[in-house]
Amino acid sequence: MEIMNQTEMVEITQTNYSDFQKLDILAFSCAECGAMGEHGGIIMVDTQGHVYHTNMLEVSETVLFSVCPPLKNCWWGFFGHCEKLPKGWMHQYLGCGNHLLVKEDYVKELRKRTKDIKQRGELYQKWLMIVLTMIKERNV
C-alpha cells in the first residue's frame, strides 16, 4: 500500500455520503467552528489507509454520524477539553480548536511514534502521515 498524499482524500458530501456508511474509521481529526485551519473540517482515516474529508458546516448531522459514528459521542469543552468521548477512543487536543481521536487499539503505537513531538502544532501537521505509516506497516 502506498501512503496517500492529501490530494487523494475522498470528499464526502450531502449527496454522496450513502456510499461511505460502512467505513472502519480508526482515527479522525475535527476542527471546531472558529478553529485555526478549516472551520468544521473533519479528516477520517480507515483501517485500509483511505482518507476521507467532510465539513460539519456543509453537511447534516445525519451525514456526519453515518460516516463517522464516534463523532456522535463527542462533546468539546473549553480550551481543548473533551467533555464527552466515545467508548474505545482516545482524545488528543491539537491546539487552536482542533481535536484528534484515535481508536484505543492504535493509541500505544501512536504515542510511541509521537513521543518526541512537543508542540501541539507539530502533531496537528504530522498526525495524518504518522497514522498512514502505521497502517501501511501493519498491512505489509
Q: Which of 1-5, 53-57, 60-64, 107-111 has the lowest mean pLDDT?
A: 1-5
pLDDT digits (tens, 9 = 90+) for 56-91: 999 999 999 999 999 998 877 666 666 778 899 999
Domain spans of the chain, in order of start: 6-138
Distance CA 52, CA 44 (A): 5
Look at 50 and 79; give whichever has higher pLDDT. 50
Q: What are 119's three cell numbers?
A: 508542540
Backbone angles phi, psi at 89, to 5 degrees: -125, 150
Can you give the pLDDT at residue 8?
Answer: 87
Cβ contacts of residue 57 below 8 Å, gap of 6+? Answer: 33, 39, 40
Residue 85 near residue 73 (C-beta atoms within 8 A): yes
User: What's the pTM?
Assistant: 0.89
CB 107 within 8 A of CB 101: no
- Output the average pLDDT for the chain: 89
Taking alpha carbons only, the member of 110, 61, 113 closest to residue 89 is 110
